[in-house]
Amino acid sequence: MRGELYFRNTVLDKQMDYSPLFLSLWVSVLATSIIAILGTLIAYVLARKRFFGRTMLDAFTTLPMILPPTVTGYYLIILLGKNGIIGNYIYKLTGWSVMFTWQAAVIAATAVAIPIMIKSAKAAIESVDLEYEKAAFTLGKSEIETFFLVTLPLAKKGLIAGLVLSFARALGEFGATIMIAGNIPGKTSTMPLAIYRAFQSGEDQLATTLVIILTVVSIAVIYITTRISRTD
Amino acid sequence: MKTKSLLTIFLIAAMIAAVSGCLSEKSKNTKPAEITFSATISLSDALKDMGTEFQKKHPEIKINFNFGASGTLEKQIEQGAPVDMFASASQLEMDSLDEKGLIIKSTRTNFTRNKLFIIAPSRLTIKELKNLDKIAIGDPKTVPAGRYAQTFMENAGVYEMLKPKLIFAENVRQVLDYVERGEVDAGFVYFSDTIKSNLSVSPINDSLYPPIVYPIAIINDSQQKAISQQFIEYIQSNEGRIIFQKYGFG
Amino acid sequence: MDLHVNISKKLTNKNSNEFRLDAEFKCGNEMIVLFGPSGAGKTLTLECIAGLEVPDKGYINVNGITYFDSEKRINISPQKRNVGYLFQNYALFPHLTVEENILFGLPYENNKKEQMQEMRDVFEIHGLEKRYPSQLSGGQRQRVALARALITRPKVLLLDEPFSSLDHIVRMRLRRDLKKIREIIKIPTILITHNPVEAYTMADTIIVYKHGGIEQIASPKEIFSKPINENVAKLVGMNNIFKGKILDITNDKVMIQSHKKIIAPGMEGLQIGEEVTWCIRPDHVMVLREDRSLRKAVAENIFSGKITEIVSKGATYLLFIDGDFNLEIEMPAHAFERLCLEAGRTIKVSLKKSAIHIIRVR
């Protein structure tokens, strides 16, 4: 069968480099973990708190979703490049620059995917009736306790949906990643970047193999998370 | 009320777009003949100058340049990009197009040369490279300059040692950019790329990499074969050669 | 047990509409009802007492403890105030069982089982512990909400329209339950309602709210028979309200000139020529039977009018008459049926002098 032969020659080929797959998973899982905490926190603040500069925070955290990823990548370079606004202090202090590292890939994935989580989480938290939180206060629970005991469980579905979408976005991130992390095989060449590189250099078989792997992994992730959220 | 005014603006914009589309259709008959030239990015400054001069002499001709890494451009042509001429920084890409029957063999010719250099904030020897943190070269898979650099390092016996420090760039101009911005400590570029830069240029043993020769050819599907040929002749003329020398080629 | 509230708060909503609340009252261990129309500030008052809203200035003292004092900059968080709060929609946590809901407010103590047992008995919720709020009836939810609020032994109990979404029978039962509970757990209780019957039957003291402030604080009897102004009069159902001028004052009665002359009970401080408003409840307007001779006691303030509308309220009937005065009359159904009245007929009515209430116009 053509399928088997094809698979044997590419996927099981000893020379096949699986590092893009592991790199992509590592970067996406890490980015999603950061987003889970940071995104939920920002969403809570935007949903429940009134303060000066609230609209600005809302607009600022939505920006990476609207800007083309390459533009976001450009701003990240201005911020974190060796001579960047923050980057140059880091370099002076530690002699280390984030450019062309897997950490940069994580930063790029986080930056482009976090607005998705914030939007989802904000809507989910707002949908929790304030009366529940007020009731928890009168029953002696602090704001943090109330968040974990009442708000979070009631907003669970929306939060999970947001995380799944964020993970998908992080997994497929290309534009900002290639700008700030480069496309260095074994180091920062995530799946989308590896596919691009293989395609560019005419390695169509490799490109196709990588595409199939990425598609299968993505479908598996969506399937698993849909099953989890449906068991409620 | 808001939706109404939005709708109105949208309709007006759509109408303007449609009308300007029509206008450009009409003026096609009175516009100059256009050719598209995909060329490796290291040729960009020299070719742009040549294009300007050529168009002064021939106002009825317009040349559109498409610069990029040789490998990237080759891929575009294979995918069917509507390009009239192609020039790469190595024979590999041209050979590939030739095998696929995409160029007019008789028009293929070599027209200039280049050399590889190290560019960095200060002068460097090959031995000193091992002390650096990051070195940029073009991605060997798609950028000839990167391939030349890798070949050079392999022949100089330093490739294994320098491999972990290598940062791949999309094209040779990006290598230059990385070095100038300080994101990397040094890079391998063509001599022609060092002309405008204030950074230090360090020579390398040119017997350790193949000669850098630029081929050019007309694409098989070109609709402007005659004009393309005219431009090729211009490039190879005295005028052309003077401009190449000015930019560090030859 | 003592509750002393004196607060002032200004709110600005999205449309830049301002709302200002000024409320002051004191109470002991009793059932206070905040009574008035929606949007008057009753819920806001409760939220300030609970600490869910912060007044702009003023103070709130409960049993000697200062919960809030703007001058001394004291503001105890709602978590530490230990108030029992019953929200309008009960706010039972949908993702927790009945048992988990009730035990929610208890700190991590060991005697949870005993406390749970006590609540179960008092509120009669046996067998419901493992159910979720969505599986309970309205009355059951109400009782669980009460249990949850009271298990923490709060210092004051606040109820925001607790019975409004329940049907009549359930409501009666819960009113009885609340009274029963108050005998066991003796704390000041504040209940919000816009139902006059509820206010009358449940309150020891009624506080009548108008838009942003308090109109009258008094016992139910006094509020319903001697409303302090026209607003309150309308709220308590004294729908026959008229303006007039004092014509004459004698020992214990006065004569008012409105459309016609009215004899009303005397009131201190009235002066001849003073402009007043007077009112009488629909159920104190008596329809006179034509064939019966008029007894002296009834022979006061007799007027005639034509019946324009008759409305049945089940146990009573409402009659609307146009005449010397346009009056609303309420009479028991049996009396109505005996009189065989119908729209278009002209009847004579008597306004009992002692039932007429005078409101001085400022």
Neighbouring chains of C at 3+ CB pairs under 8 Å are A
- Confidence check: pLDDT of C299 > 70: no
Q: What is the DSSP string of chain B?
A: -HHHHHHHHHHHHHHHHHHHHHHHHHGGGTSPEEEEEEEEGGGHHHHHHHHHHHHHH-TTEEEEEEEE-HHHHHHHHHTT---SEEE-SSHHHHHHHHHTT-B-GGG-EEEEEE-EEEEESS---TGGGGG-S-EEEE-TTT-HHHHHHHHHHHHTT-HHHHGGGEEEESSHHHHHHHHHHTSSSEEEEEHHHHTT--SEEEE--GGGS--EEEEEEEBTT-S-HHHHHHHHHHHTSHHHHHHHHHTT--
Q: What is the pLDDT of residues C152-206, one digit of tens each?
A: 889 899 999 988 878 888 888 888 888 888 888 888 899 999 888 888 988 999 9
Q: Is A53 left (phi over 0), alpha (psi -120 to 50) or beta?
A: left
Instruction: Please list every residue in chain A whose beta carbon sits closer than 8 Å to the beta carbon of residue B184.
Output: 100
pLDDT at C3: 87
Query: Where residue C124 falls among pLDDT bands split at 50, 70, 90?
Result: confident
pLDDT score of A195 more than 50: yes
Of the candidates B111, B74, B81, which has an alpha carbon nearest to the alpha carbon of residue B96?
A: B74
Q: Cα–Cα distance between A91 and A83 in angstroms, integer?
A: 8
Q: Tell me what the mean pLDDT of segment B195-207 comes to.
A: 91
Chain C nearest CA to A41, separation (Å)? 22
Kindly state the percentage of chain C with pLDDT values over 90.
27
Distance, CA of C362 to CA of A19 (rounded, Å) = 88
Of the candidates A135, A137, A153, the beta carbon closest to that of C95 is on A153
CA angle, residues C22, C28, C32, in degrees to nearest 5 = 60
How far is Cα C59 from Cα C61, in angstroms, rounded to an integer?
7
* Per-residue pLDDT, B22: 59
Contact C87 A134 (CB under 8 A): yes
Contact C80 A140 (CB under 8 A): yes
Contact predicate A173/A69, CB 8 Å: yes
Chain A contacts in chain C segment 264-293 (CB below 8 A): none
Q: How far apart, in whole angstroms, are the C-alpha atoms of residue B32 and residue A84?
A: 45
Residues from chain A contacting residue B72 (CB–CB below 8 Å) = 200
Q: What is the mean pLDDT of chain B?
A: 90
Interchain contact C87–A (C-beta under 8 A): yes
Q: What is the pLDDT of residue A32?
A: 96
State how far residue A136 is from chain C, nearest Cα, in angstroms: 8
Query: Do chain B and C touch: 3 or more Cβ pairs under 8 angstroms?
Result: no
pLDDT at B85 over 90: yes
CA A99 to chain centre: 18
Q: Which chain A residues are Cβ-neighbours of B68 within 8 angstroms?
A: none
Q: Which of C52, C87, C152 lies closest to A140 in CB terms?
A: C152
Per-residue pLDDT at C230: 87
Residues of C in contact with A142 (CB under 8 A): 79
Nearest to A135 among C80, C91, C107 (CB): C91
Closest Cβ–Cβ partner in B75, B170, B181 for A83: B181
**Average of pLDDT values for B140-160?**
93
* B72, B96, B168: residue with CB nearest A183: B168
Q: Which residues of A touch C81 (CB under 8 A)?
A: 138
d(CA B154, CA C229): 102
Q: Decide if A197 and B142 are in contact by the 8 Å CB cutoff.
A: yes
- The pLDDT, as a whole number, for residue B218 is 95
Read off the pLDDT band of A18 (50, 70, 90). Answer: confident
How large is the greatest C-alpha to C-alpha distance in chain C, in angstroms?
Answer: 77
Q: Do chains C and A touch (3 or more CB pairs under 8 A)?
A: yes
| Mean pLDDT within B202-210 | 91
Question: Which pTM does this prediction carry?
Answer: 0.78
Please name the residue of chain B whose CA is at the shortest distance from the CA of residue A203.
B141
Enumerate neighbours of A (3 or more CB pairs within 8 A).
Answer: B, C
Per the CB < 8 Å rule, is B142 touching A82? no
Partners of residue A138 in chain C, C-beta under 8 Å: 50-52, 78-79, 81, 83-85, 105, 149
Query: Which of the pair, C263 or B20, is modelled with greater confidence?
Result: C263
Q: Is C95's Cβ below 8 Å from some Cβ in A?
A: yes
Q: How far is A213 from chain B (nearest CA, A)?
A: 22
Q: Tell me the shortest Cα–Cα distance from A40 to chain C, in angstroms.
A: 20
The ipTM (two decimal places) reads 0.83
Mark yes or no for CB contact C78/A129 under 8 Å: no
Does the beta-carbon distance from A153 to C91 stay under 8 Å? no
Statement: residue A11 has pLDDT above 50: no
Closest to B40 measured CA to CA, from B214, B224, B238, B242: B214
Average pLDDT score over residue span C333-340: 86
Cβ contacts from A onto C, under 8 A: 57
pLDDT number for residue C107: 75
Task: Estimate to the nearest angstrom the gap between the alpha carbon of A206 and the chain centroid.
Answer: 25
Query: Residue range C271-289: average pLDDT?
Result: 87
| Residue C1 pLDDT | 53
pLDDT of res. A2: 42
Which residues, numbered 43 to 82 in chain C, qualify as contacts with chain A under a Cβ-Cβ cut-off of 8 Å?
47, 50-52, 77-82
Residue of A nearest to B134 (CA): A100
**Per-residue confidence band for A12, with pLDDT thresholds at 50, 70 and 90:** very low
The answer to whether residue B2 scores a pLDDT higher than 70 is yes
- The verdict on a CB contact (< 8 Å) between A141 and C79 is yes
- Mean pLDDT of all residues in chain C? 86
Contact A184 B168 (CB under 8 A): yes
In chain A, whose CA is at the least distance from the CA of B69? A200
With cut-offs at 50, 70 and 90, classify the pLDDT of residue B102: very high
* Residue range C92-103, pLDDT digits in tens: 999 999 989 998
- Check C79 against A153: CB less than 8 A apart: no
Q: What is the mean pLDDT of residues A166-173?
A: 92
Q: Is the predicted pLDDT of residue B150 greater than 80, yes or no? A: yes
